[in-house]
């Protein structure tokens, strides 16, 4: 049984991860920014997999926010990509040995546009982090490319034909994900 058959995603999160997300949400509120959990986190929760990292996309400059978050989490801030405004917080004090880092990216336009730049539909989903303090329902997940349906159908599909052109290494990532997730096939969108 996958999380798709359940209504409460919060039950599937380790308490230490839920606590971490609540701290991130509180820091974003204090900073005056909105944030979204994006990427593989949602996929891994749905599949019941261990969570290796958390990706957060925010409505502010991630390089301004990340040092404040690192301080609140007693972690270490690293500027990952100054041009695209991406930061990382390495977690020092965590009860969850699998969860080691939080990556924070800057949303350029809106969350839907941000998701359209991602590689695969199963990683192009978002959840407003402020919802983490409530019971999370499937309806709360922003899923413009039907990533949850692709997880159920056991396929990996690129968000757009341009996804592989933008970064050829995504093809290798797709093969790795297919093997890792024991998904059946990799599909490209049909062109008109």
Q: Is position 160 within any domain? A: no
Q: How high is the pLDDT of residue 99?
A: 75
Q: What is the pLDDT of residues 89-146, one digit of tens each?
A: 999 865 655 678 999 999 999 999 999 988 889 999 999 998 886 767 777 889 999 9
132 DSSP assignment: G
Indicate the pLDDT class of residue 52, thresholds 50, 70 and 90: confident
Contacts of 70 (CB under 8 A, 6+ apart): 76, 77, 89, 90
Q: How high is the pLDDT of residue 8?
A: 60
Least confident of 46-50, 120-124, 153-157, 181-185: 181-185
Q: Is position 32 within any domain? A: yes
Kindly tell me the burial class for residue 185, based on how many C-beta atoms sit within 10 Å of its own C-beta (0-12, 13-18, 19 or more): exposed
Look at the chain and report how many structural domains it folds into.
Answer: 1
Q: How high is the pLDDT of residue 18?
A: 85
Better-predicted residue by pLDDT, 1 or 52: 52
Rounded CA-CA distance 100/144 in Å is 29
Better-predicted residue by pLDDT, 171 or 159: 159
Do residues 59 and 107 make contact, with C-beta atoms less than 8 angstroms apart?
A: yes
187 DSSP assignment: E
Q: Is position 184 within any domain? A: no
Rounded CA-CA distance 189/192 in Å is 10
Q: Is position 174 within any domain? A: no
Q: Record the pTM.
A: 0.82
Q: What is the pLDDT of residues 61-70, one digit of tens each?
A: 999 999 999 9
Q: What is the helix (H) or strand (E) element at residue 172, kind and residue range? A: helix 169-181
Q: How high is the pLDDT of residue 95?
A: 60
Sign of CA dihedral 56, 187, 7, 116: positive
Structural domain range at position 37: 3-145
120-152 burial string, b = 16+ CB within 10 Å, else e?
Answer: bbbbbbbbbbebbeeebeeeebbbebebbebbe
Q: Is position 122 within any domain? A: yes
What's the Cα-to-Cα distance from 68 to each of 10, 88, 111, 144, rounded to whole Å?
26, 12, 22, 31
Taking residues 70-91, what's their average pLDDT?
93
Q: How high is the pLDDT of residue 49?
A: 80
Taking residues 62-88, what's their average pLDDT?
94
Assign residue 102 a region: left if phi > 0, alpha if psi is -120 to 50, beta otherwise? beta
Determine how many CB atoms are found less than 10 A away from the CB of residue 154: 12
Q: What is the pLDDT of residues 18-49, one digit of tens each?
A: 888 999 999 999 999 999 999 888 888 888 88
Q: Is position 187 within any domain? A: no
Rounded CA-CA distance 156/173 in Å is 11
Q: Can you give the CATH number for the domain in which 141 is found?
A: 3.30.460.10
């Amino acid at each position: 049984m996958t999380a798709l058959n359940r209504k409460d995603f919060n039950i599937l999160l380790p308490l230490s991860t839920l606590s971490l997300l609540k701290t991130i949400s509180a820091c974003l509120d204090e900073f005056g920014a909105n944030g979204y959990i994006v990427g593989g986190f949602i996929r891994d929760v749905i599949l019941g997999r261990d969570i290796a990292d958390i990706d957060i996309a925010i409505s502010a400059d991630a390089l301004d926010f990340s040092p404040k978050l690192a301080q609140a989490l007693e972690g270490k801030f690293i500027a990952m990509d100054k041009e695209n405004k991406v930061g990382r917080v390495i977690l020092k004090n965590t009860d969850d040995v699998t969860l080691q880092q939080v990556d924070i990216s800057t949303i350029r336009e809106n969350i839907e546009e941000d998701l359209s730049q991602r590689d695969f539909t199963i990683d192009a989903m978002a959840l407003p982090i402020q919802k983490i303090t409530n019971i999370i329902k499937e309806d709360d997940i922003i899923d413009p490319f039907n990533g949850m349906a692709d997880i159920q159908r056991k396929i990996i599909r690129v968000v757009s034909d341009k996804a592989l052109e933008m970064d050829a290494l995504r093809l290798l990532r797709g093969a790795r994900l297919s093997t890792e997730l024991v998904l059946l096939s990799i599909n490209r969108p049909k062109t008109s």
